[in-house]
Amino acid sequence: MSTETVPTTVPSTRAAAPVVSVRDAALELGGRTLWSHLDLELSPGELVVVLGPNGAGKSSLLRVLLGSLELASGTAQVLGGPPGSAGGRIGYVPQQKLFDRGAPLRAKDLVGLGFDGPRPGITLRGAAKARAVRSALERVDAQHYASRPVGRLSGGEQQRLRIAQSFVSSPELLLCDEPLLSLDLGHQRAVLDAIDEYRRGAGAGVLLVTHDVNPLLGMVDRVLYLAPAGHRLGAPSEVLTGPVLSELYGLHVDVLDVHGRVVVVAGGSGDDEGLGTGGHA
């Protein structure tokens, strides 16, 4: 299968301390264990994609790193401290929710909220904020609608603003929860290019949750696959294989290379809905 990855352009950061360190971690929600014995280290400049079926705990992993969920056991460190302590050093892209058509907030003001962080209303850094917002908008090619109300923008345009908002504080870590959801191929490419360019230029680690790995195959360093029978972390060519996914799901899974796309077929029937790798047959 075509899973060639492109090396990061920030090789000097590889010896640096990890931006995320998770050790022997378990997470429980509603009396159910989502995952356990999870080990993950994310290096500066590295892009790790999190895959798996609905309910496997992919978004919950991001919430643990943000400090909004507690582990049942094990430890997690983010940028050298406990989750929730890094503030503006983390950029977060939540799952997409469209703004109401009547929302009056301007595009540049939405992006500026990422700069304010816990300092809303303070204007002493107004010039620095304006420069940061302008730079973030330019990174995602959204400067031409900076003054338009967000409710009047398309879903793809709104998603570019969320990406820009995650860049505006110059974070060292990006946590992205389904940033490609509901985007057409053109908008997917634009969003991914912006994320990839930022992490390479800034040496920022990226943990990105998605249901379809195919748009990322040319840039992802490693894949973390969360599944009912366990998890696996490694290069795409090591993780996205029939034997590995069969073991993780407890049923026969075939992984095919169809014109450079990963296609997963479960149980020999073509019923692969919910496996969380994309490229459905």
- Asked if 46 and 221 count as a contact pair (C-beta separation under 8 A), the reply is yes
pTM: 0.86
The CATH number linked to 129 is 3.40.50.300
Domain span at 178: 19-234
In a domain, 255, yes or no: no
pLDDT, one tens digit for every residue, the chain (281 residues): 444 444 444 444 445 899 999 999 999 998 999 999 999 999 999 999 999 999 999 999 999 999 999 999 999 999 999 999 998 899 999 988 888 888 889 999 999 988 865 444 444 468 888 999 999 999 988 999 999 999 999 888 888 999 999 999 999 999 999 998 878 888 888 889 999 999 999 999 999 999 999 999 999 999 999 998 899 999 999 999 999 999 999 899 999 988 888 988 886 544 444 565 654 32
C-alpha–C-alpha distance, residues 4 and 177, integer Å: 23
Residue 113 CA to residue 122 CA, distance in Å, equals 12
Backbone phi, then psi, for 94, in 5-degree steps? -75, 170
For residue 140, is it within any domain? yes
Would you say residue 239 lies in a domain? no
The two beta strands, 47-51 and 73-78, are: unpaired
Spatial separation of the C-alpha atoms in residues 110 and 112, rounded to whole Å = 5
Task: Indicate whether 29 belongs to any domain.
Answer: yes
Provide the domain count of the chain.
1
Short-list 65, 74, 69, 75, CA closest to 172: 65
Q: Is residue 186 part of a domain?
A: yes
